[in-house]
Amino acid sequence: MKSIVILISGRGSNMRSIVEAGMPARIAAVISNQPSAGGLAYAAERGITTAVVDHKAFDSRAAFDEALAAEIDRFTPDLVVLAGFMRVLGEGFVRRYANRLLNIHPSLLPSFQGLHTHRRALEAGVKVHGCTVHFVTPALDHGPIVIQAAVPVLPGDDEDRLAARVLAEEHRIYPRAVQWFIEGRLDRKSTRL
């Protein structure tokens, strides 16, 4: 059975969608960089091991990345899933988990990389917005795309309404991408770092 470690920073709604999908994999741990992350309580209530590697306790990104990797490696995961994990990870960390590190981003990549995607989509006047699951590479939000989902941008939308529709699609497609990984249906050899 494949083993998964999920990284979160907040409420963990994408982590929940993966846990509740009931796929044939073991969620070995949920790890957060935020001690107060709401998703930790959810995971613990379901008997999933939780851990915190607080990024504020480290004086450099490299030191944090190394400590985070050491915690992840305790669980020997086949897959590491970034589910609302709000830290940029360094090149060494990304290479360590090459071809087995997935992220979900709230835009239709390559559009609107980085933060504030819903606001930027509204400001740009796009008619379609969405989300993307991709393999992580050292270039931020540039990894090979696994799956995307689109939602219409409706008249009168604000950031919150648009974000809610996008989040519903994230919860639908992220478990699907993880399932594909578990089933060996993703061509990970095509991911070049």
- What local confidence, expressed as pLDDT, does residue 189 receive? 59
Distance CA 105, CA 62 (A): 23
Please list the pLDDT of the chain residue by residue as tens digits (193 residues).
999 999 999 999 999 999 999 999 999 999 999 999 999 999 999 999 999 999 999 999 999 999 999 999 999 999 999 999 999 999 999 999 999 999 999 999 999 999 999 999 999 999 999 999 999 999 999 999 999 999 999 999 999 999 999 999 999 999 999 999 999 999 765 544 4
- What local confidence, expressed as pLDDT, does residue 193 receive? 44
- What local confidence, expressed as pLDDT, does residue 187 receive? 72
Distance CA 184, CA 79 (A): 12
Structure tokens that stand for 114 in this block: 């980085």
The total of other beta-carbon atoms located within 10 Å of residue 86's CB is 15
- What local confidence, expressed as pLDDT, does residue 155 receive? 96
Return the half-sphere exposure (C-beta side, CA atoms, 13 A cut-off) of residue 33.
22
**Furthest CA-CA distance within the chain:** 49
Distance CA 11, CA 14 (A): 9
24: helix, strand or coil: coil
Which residues carry out catalysis?
Answer: 105
